[in-house]
Structures are given as C-alpha cells and as structure tokens.
Amino acid sequence: MSKQLNVTRNELQKSYKNHYTLYKYGENTVSPKARRLLLFYAVECGLKSLILKNLGKNTYEELRMYSENNQLRIHGHDIKAMTREVGIDHIYSLKKIRLMNQGGNVSPERFNELWRYGVTVEDEEGEKNVEITLEDIAKWIGKRL
C-alpha cells in the first residue's frame, strides 16, 4: 500500500470547499452516486481539517500519528470516528446502508466505495438519509472552517 500524501490543513480545507461546491452545483449534470462520493470526500476532508485545527497541528502525518497513538480511526475514511472526535456523532448519526445483490451492509467508513463503484442498494431511502446527514455535516463544517 502506498503512503498517504502529507497534505496540509489548508489543502484539506480547500478540498472540502471544492468537493462540496461540485456536489451542490452538480445536481443536473452528475449522477446521484457521483455527487454522493463528492459529498463524502468533502466531509472527510473538512473533518480532518477541523481535527487538525482543534489539535493545533497542520499536516496529515501529524493527524496519522495522533490517530495511531490514541488508537483512533480518524486518519482513514471513517467519517463516523471523525464525527466522534469533533463531538458531533450524537447529533449526526450515520447508519449502515443495506446492499441489494451482495447482501449485507456498508458502514460509514466504506460509503466512498459504495458510491465510487455504483453498487446498487436495497434501501434507497436509507441511502438518501445518509446523504442528507452528510450534507448537514458539510454545512456544520462550513461554519467552523
């Protein structure tokens, strides 16, 4: 596995803004799953930027070290762990999404895979609810960056 780029808090913040802007204005030009993927990455980057800000740190490598030293899962894709770290997990609850053909569920840290590969879900309403929650988190982040 290749090493993660050591991006800065400022780069994460810009990525949040860029992805969220594309999500908001792509409704008529981008598929729903592609838009949700953009939203997922916007939220992920925004939360990582906020966590770094709260820690007084500036780079992904510092985030990774903090995460590993404290046995957290905030340096990967686990948005649920990141919301817990910034103290909003009780406000913005992310539920698993049931899959159609493969059976089983997809948990929040794997939503990016679900939308990147366009997997069919059984519970479309649940998927829409996750999108609404992610959008609410994105708005919350926007007020704090």
For 94-119, what is each residue's pLDDT tens digit? 999 999 876 799 999 999 999 999 99
Domain count for the chain: 1
Q: Could you tell me the sign of the dihedral formed by the alpha carbons of 109, 110, 113, 116, in that order?
A: negative
Residue 3 has pLDDT above 80, yes or no: no
How many residues in total does the chain contain?
145
- The pLDDT tens digits of the residues spanning 31-71 come to 999 999 999 999 999 999 999 999 999 999 999 999 999 99
Per-residue pLDDT band for 2 (boundaries 50, 70, 90) equals low
Is position 33 within any domain?
yes
Answer for the pair 22, 38: CB distance below 8 angstroms, yes or no: yes
Q: Could you tell me the sign of the dihedral formed by the alpha carbons of 76, 87, 68, 48, in that order?
A: positive
Is position 97 within any domain?
yes
List the domain range (segments joined by +) for residue 72.
9-142
Is position 93 within any domain?
yes
**Inter-CA distances, 134 with 43, 61, 106, 130, Å:** 7, 25, 15, 6
Is position 105 within any domain?
yes
Is position 2 within any domain?
no
